Amino acid sequence: MEGRGIELNIGPVHPATHGVLKLVADIEGDTVKNAKVEIGFLHRGKEKIAELRYFNSYFPIVDKLDYVGALNWEILWASTVEKAMNLEINDRVKYIRAVMAEIQRIMSHLVYIGSFGQDLGNLTFFIWALRERELLMDIVEEISGGRLAPMYNRVGGVFYDFTDGIADKINTALSKIEEKVKKEYRAMTYENSLFIMRSKGIGIMGQKVIKENGVTGPNMRASGIKRDLRKDEPYLVYDKVDFEIITENDSDVYARFMVRVREILESIKIIRQLLKDMPKGDAKISAPWIMKVPAGYTLVRHEMSKGEGAMFLVTDGGLKPYRLKIRSPSFYSLQALPLVLEGCKVADAFVITASMDPVMGEVDR
Amino acid sequence: MIFNEIYSMLAYYLPPKANLIASALATFVLILIVLIATPIILGWVDRKFSARIQSRYGPIYVGKFGLLQNFADVIKLMGKNFVTNQYVDRFSYNLIPILSSALSFLLIALLPFGAPSLTFISLPYNLLFIYILLAFSPLLIIIASWGENNKFAVLGGFRSAAQITTYELALIVTFISIGMVNGSYDIINVIASQSLIWNIIYLPLTAVVFFIGSIAVIERAPFDLPESSQELQAGWRIEYSGLKYGLFMIGDYVKLLAVSILFVSLFLGGWSGAFLPGIIWFWIKTVVALMFLMSLRWSLGRPRIDQLLSIGWKWLLPLSVINLIIVEVMMLI
């Protein structure tokens, strides 16, 4: 380290780094000259573990990839194996999975905007966001029996069908959340002048940075790129529902926040439509617990709450995968982070990091 | 003064020399009760109030409504080991918590508690003395942060020095305006002279400046940048633990009460009010001011340090100077 600055090690144990992320920042005065991101503190070899397990026994591991968006990853893994097996799944299962994916997306975004408020020094907002998330947690618990890591899906279907009267409960919870997001959150965050003062105009991530680093999801849509796999390559039943791709044009921290807030409202819209059109019948599982998957290469991409997640599965016709590669969206967001952090204030560095929504379980794998 | 009151009360029963000792002891015990009870009860109010804002219950298990929770916490704090980093400068590290909390206690001892005679220390120019006490704290913070030998502490310490120096300037101008309007730097005279019309009507801008400035000077959220727990973990308090950290916390709550009493005495007429006795009016106003200060902490995020400084230099200082000029012109007329 040359010059008059200091080198600040932020993390991996730091209350504002969202898990075990480590930032090494060269600071001069109150300005970050350059920053490095160190990852790998939560590496658990999940891709290697896949080679040692039966296809259905891998779900508990998938749950711990993105621990605030577990169901999304479960559905992706299930779809990957089903595609490799050429397995057609029940219509009702597709609807159930889509509902669960959107519920999980709302939960993930609520954690994001809550922890974002906390990074601005507003603990109240964090607890409010968790309070709303709790409503959906209860629903996930009633359906699947689990909360953070539900282990609800399996190859060929889901473990349990929806319980009786769950649709009404979901609708009640959703209208509560919608009201809170539109009223309380507005006053507390996106129309609060102190919040706007802190988040507008900082952490600008241009389209060039996004394209070079492969940033996807809400972070990308906040910079005006209109791309959403649910619309562009519809999977499950997303082609049957009517929704919009949310974009913002400012590409700053505030835009990234707003994309999430508006996506919550959009997801609520999707769930309502899905619940209305949900076909009757039973959600039968169409595959045995332990099965052989024909040899081949399979790539499936889904829109996670944090961006595009993909799984590339190589099978050799055996009971277990031959090789699995996971593309986790947070990893690519973190690659763009040093570029965005350059030249920002120290206090902003934490806000910008939070605005990328990194989940280290998914980054380190 | 409280001492004089006790002395004259006991004068019937005791000879002068014994009375002197007895009333000194009684005053001392009273000071201790105020100093110990204030932060603990305020801490409970803060926890309960913030809990209700955040849809939580807050402390409920220890005592009725969790009233004894903070007493339990203080006992726990006292039982903790002193964990000291080997690289700290021990002299300044150990001195600052004591000095800093002593300053806060001195601050509250100078203020009246609802009646002219209810003060522990009475000085003719106590408003200026209060200002000196407030102005002293950045020095202590810089010493503490430097002595801790930690990067986060130093960052927090410099932030703190910049912030407090900025806002003290605005604060001294508000004190000068009050001195000019009321013709005295003695809080009791200031309160007496606003028995008909409160200062907040004469000096609305100054009241706003004082309110914002005082939050910044006591480093209360949303202006708690020097110790922002999310960015700097605890800023200049990062190496402190156990009772030493507890002393800072106690000092914080005492300062919070001091600022609300100061605001009530300087702008809201102190104990002046109709129908009810003065002391009740005084405490009603103080509690309202206190609750407002506390609710700010739980409903606003914090600004960035450069934004905070620019608010101070570009808005608060000019505003207070403008108000001072208006007051001067009015007095000339």
Q: What pLDDT, in 10s, does the model give residues B101-143?
A: 888 888 888 888 777 777 777 777 888 888 888 888 888 888 8
Which residues in chain A are closer than 8 Å to B233, comparing Cβ atoms? 14-15
Asked if B119 and B248 sit in the same domain, the reply is yes
Domains within chain A, CATH numbers bracketed: 45-363 (1.10.645.10)
Are A47 and A321 in contact by the 8 Å Cβ rule? The answer is no
Most confident region among A93-107, B64-78, B216-230 by mean pLDDT: A93-107
The CA distance from A15 to B56, in Å, is 21
Question: Cα–Cα distance between B114 and B281 in angstroms, integer?
Answer: 8
Domain co-membership, B208 together with B72: no
Average per-residue pLDDT for chain B: 81
Residues B207 and B248 both lie in one domain? yes
B11 pLDDT exceeds 80? no
Q: Same domain for B102 and B237?
A: yes
- CA-nearest residue to A6 within chain B is B151
In this structure, the answer to whether residues B130 and B203 fall within a common structural domain is yes
B32 and B50 belong to one structural domain: yes
**Per-residue pLDDT reduced to its tens digit, A118-155:** 888 788 888 888 888 899 899 988 888 888 888 888 88
Query: In this structure, are B29 and B113 located in the same domain?
Result: no
- Among residues B48, B79, B110, which one ends one of the domains? B79
Contact B307 A197 (CB under 8 A): yes
Q: Which domain holds residue B136?
A: 88-332
- Judged by CB atoms closer than 8 Å, whether chains meet at A15 and B56 is answered as no
Residue of A nearest to B54 (CA): A124
Contact assignment for A30 to B233 by CB distance below 8 Å: no
Choose the closest CB to B301 out of A27, A30, A195: A195
Q: What's phi and psi for B111, nearest 5 deg?
A: -95, 150
- My answer on whether B3 and B110 are in the same domain is no
Which of these three, B79, B102, B119, is where a domain ends? B79
pLDDT digits (tens, 9 = 90+) for B299-315: 777 787 778 888 888 88
| Parallel, antiparallel or unpaired: strands A157-158 and A296-303 | unpaired
Chain A residues closer than 8 Å to B221 by CB: 121
Query: Is B231's CB within 8 Å of A347's CB?
Result: yes
pLDDT confidence of residue B143: 86
Give the pLDDT score at A1: 45
The total number of structural domains in chain B stands at 2
| Tens digits of residue pLDDT in A191-231 | 888 888 888 888 888 888 888 888 888 888 888 888 888 88
Determine, for residues B222 and A121 on separate chains, whether the beta-carbon distance falls below 8 Å.
yes
The sign of the torsion formed by the CA atoms of A264, A266, A267, A268 equals: positive
Minimum distance, in Å, between the CA of residue B48 and any CA atom of chain A: 13
B306:A197 CB<8 A: no
Q: Residue B59 phi/psi, 5° resolution? A: -65, 130
> pLDDT higher for B48 or B165?
B48
Position B226 scores a pLDDT of: 67
* Averaged pLDDT for residues B69-94: 83
Chain A residues with CB-CB distance to B151 below 8 A: 6, 8
Same-domain check for residues B176 and B325: yes
Whether the CB-CB separation of B213 and B171 falls below 8 Å is answered with: yes
Q: Can you list the residues of chain A whose pLDDT is less than 70?
A: 1-4, 15-17
Q: What is this structure's pTM?
A: 0.85
- Tell me what pLDDT residue A312 has: 92
Cα A297 to Cα A287: distance, rounded to the nearest angstrom: 20
Quick one: B221 and B248 in the same domain? Answer: yes
Predicted ipTM beyond 0.85:
no
Give me the torsion for CA of B127, B128, B129, B134, rounded to 10°.
90
